């Protein structure tokens, strides 16, 4: 029976660093964001669903989804966020389950990186949940720096997710990313050693 570990956190919390370290150690990691990007590529299930909902204005001249424009539209209202979630979550859950089932054959341990693991109730999928934790100030600062957002834009993005402090109660392991990337990597290495 494959042990499946869920990795979660929030936007700009350091999940990518954790995933990179886990992959470097030779483990398989299903990245929900990568799965979503595949579904959103031209002709994909999400691409079709979003196009049907928002029309051709969300496409680039090449016919791909215009991600900044799409993001702006979705985050422009609570109504659009709710509609987007309803439209996309079922398709994403199905795709993640297929990928999980495919990869768990022949793996003793499998990781899944799902940013909204708690919010979208994936809790029962996992034997363990690892939370990449960073305090609110750090998260805001890193998101502004990484994405070039204004403080208002960054706060708006962070506000769409459950606060990391509220996610702590669901975590079997807390990976504290308030220090350096090296500190975080050491925590991941130790956690892998203890599996």
- 165 labelled binding-site residue: no
**Rounded CA gap, 41 and 48, in Å?**
9
- 12 labelled binding-site residue: yes
- 13 labelled binding-site residue: yes
- 15 labelled binding-site residue: yes
Beta bridge partners of 133: 176
SS3 annotation, the chain: CCEEEEEECCCCCCHHHHHHHHHHCCCEEEEHHHHHHHHHCCCCHHHHHHHHHHCHHHECCCCCECHHHHHHHHHCCHHHHHHHHHHHHHHHHHHHHHHHHHHHCCCCEEEEECCCCCCCCCHHHCCEEEEEECCHHHHHHHHHHHHCCCHHHHHHHHHCCCCHHHHHHHCCEEEECCCCHHHHHHHHHHHHHCC
The C-alpha angle 146, 147, 148, rounded to 5 degrees, equals 100
- 17 labelled binding-site residue: yes
Annotated binding site: 12-17
Annotated binding site for ATP: 12-17
């Amino acid at each position: 029976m494959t042990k499946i570990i869920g990795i979660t956190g929030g936007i700009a919390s350091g999940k990518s660093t954790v995933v990179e370290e886990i992959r470097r150690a030779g483990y398989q990691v299903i990245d929900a964001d990568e799965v979503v990007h595949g579904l959103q590529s031209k002709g994909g299930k999400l691409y079709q669903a979003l196009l049907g909902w928002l029309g051709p204005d969300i496409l680039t001249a090449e016919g791909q989804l215009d991600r900044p424009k799409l993001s702006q539209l979705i985050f422009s209202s609570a109504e659009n966020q709710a509609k987007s979630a309803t439209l996309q979550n079922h398709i994403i859950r199905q795709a993640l389950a297929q990928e999980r089932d495919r990869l768990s054959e022949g793996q003793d341990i499998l990781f899944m990186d799902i940013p909204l693991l708690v919010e979208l109730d994936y809790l029962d999928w996992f034997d363990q949940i690892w939370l990449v934790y960073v305090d609110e100030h750090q998260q805001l600062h890193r998101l502004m720096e990484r994405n070039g957002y204004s403080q208002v834009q960054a706060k708006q993005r962070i506000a769409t997710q459950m606060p990391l402090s509220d996610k702590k109660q669901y975590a079997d392991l807390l990976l504290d990313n308030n220090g350096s990337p090296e500190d975080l990597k050491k925590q991941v290495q130790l956690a892998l050693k203890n599996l």
